[in-house]
Amino acid sequence: AQSVTQLGSHVSVSEGALVLLRCNYSSSVPPYLFWYVQYPNQGLQLLLKYTTGATLVKGINGFEAEFKKSETSFHLTKPSAHMSDAAEYFCAVGGNNRLAFGKGNQVVVIP
Amino acid sequence: GAGVSQTPSNKVTEKGKYVELRCDPISGHTALYWYRQSLGQGPEFLIYFQGTGAADDSGLPNDRFFAVRPEGSVSTLKIQRTERGDSAVYLCASSLTGTGGDEQFFGPGTRLTVL
C-alpha cells in the first residue's frame, strides 16, 4: 500500500519568509508524487507533480519540490511567502488506480 | 473550459435516508474517481471508474455505498440508510487516461450532513 506523512497540521509563516512543507511517502513501486492546494471554498488544484526525470520539479505560483528517493521525501518550498499562499496543502502519492493523500498542512501567512 | 462539476454543493439529510450525489467529469476523460474528505483529514479514496466499469471499488466503506457511471461520463454516488458518520465532503475527480502519473482534476465537492 502507498501512504504519505505530512507533519504539523498548521504552519505559520511570515510574509516574505521561506515556505517549507514536508512530505514523506511510502511506496513499493516507483512513486508518482503530487502536491495539491485547496483554497477556501474551492476544489483541489494541482501545484506540481513528479513522475520521472528531473527530481527538482517547478510548479505554479513559485512553488517547487524535490524528489529524494534516498530519503523517501518530496518536500514543497517557496522562497518568499505571499498573503495569497494562505490555503491548505496536500501531498499525495499516485498509483494503483488512486491517490493516497496526507492529512494536509493549513498554511497561515502573517503580515 | 468546463471543469469537474458536482451537484448538489450541499446536502442535509436525516439519519436513515437515501442520498444521491452527482459528478460531471471533464469531457473526454475516461477515468473518474470518488473520494471522501472528513474534517481535518486528507481525501480518502472510495472508487475508480475506467469508462463505464468500476475498476476498483475497494475504498467503499460498506455495502451502503454504491456508485454508477452508466454511459462513461456522469457518475452518481449513492448512499443508503445514511448514518451520522457519513457526514463529510464527497469529492469527484477525473483524469484523461487513469494512468498513475495522470493529473486528477477535482470538483468543488458535495458537503453531506447527516442529522
CA-nearest residue to B31 within chain A is: A97
Query: Would the pLDDT of B18 be above 90?
Result: yes
Mean pLDDT of chain B: 95
Q: Which residues of B touch A42 (CB under 8 A)?
A: 108
The dihedral sign for the CA sequence B83, B38, A101, B36: positive
Q: Which residues of A touch B48 (CB under 8 A)?
A: 97-98
Q: Which residues of A touch B23 (CB under 8 A)?
A: none
Calpha distance A23→A33 (Å, rounded):
10
Establish if B3 touches chain A: CB-CB under 8 angstroms. yes
pLDDT reported for residue A24: 97
Copy the grid coordinates of residue A65. Answer: 519540490
B39 or B90, greater pLDDT: B90
**B42-66 pLDDT, tens per residue?**
999 999 999 999 889 999 999 999 9
Q: Which residues of A touch B44 (CB under 8 A)?
A: 101
pLDDT reported for residue B103: 92
Cα of A94 to nearest chain B Cα, Å: 6
Through-space distance between the first and last CA atoms of chain A, rounded to whole angstroms = 41
pLDDT reported for residue A8: 81
CA-nearest residue to B92 within chain A is: A43
Query: Would the pLDDT of B34 be above 60?
Result: yes
Residue A98: which of B3, B56, B109 has the nearest Cβ? B56
CB–CB of B41 and A45 under 8 A? no
- Those residues of chain A that have pLDDT short of 50 are none
Residue B106: which of A44, A95, A100 has the nearest Cβ? A44
Cell 439529510 identifies what position?
B13
pLDDT reported for residue B101: 85
Cα of B98 to nearest chain A Cα, Å: 7
- DSSP-derived letter for residue A17 is S
Q: Which residues of A touch B42 (CB under 8 A)?
A: 4, 6, 90, 92, 101-104
pLDDT reported for residue B1: 56
**A75-100 pLDDT, tens per residue?**
999 999 999 999 999 999 998 789 99
The three-state secondary structure class of A27 is coil
**B75-111 pLDDT, tens per residue?**
999 999 999 999 999 999 999 988 878 899 999 999 9
Query: Would the pLDDT of B40 be above 80?
Result: yes
**DSSP sequence for chain B:** ----EEE-SEEEE-TT--EEEEEE--TT--EEEEEEE-TTS--EEEEEEETTEEEE-TT--STTEEEE-TTSS-EEEEE-S--GGG-EEEEEEEESS--TTSPPEE---EEEEE-
Which residue of A97, A101, A105 is the best one to mutate when testing the B interface, meaning the one whose CB has the most B CBs within 10 A?
A: A97
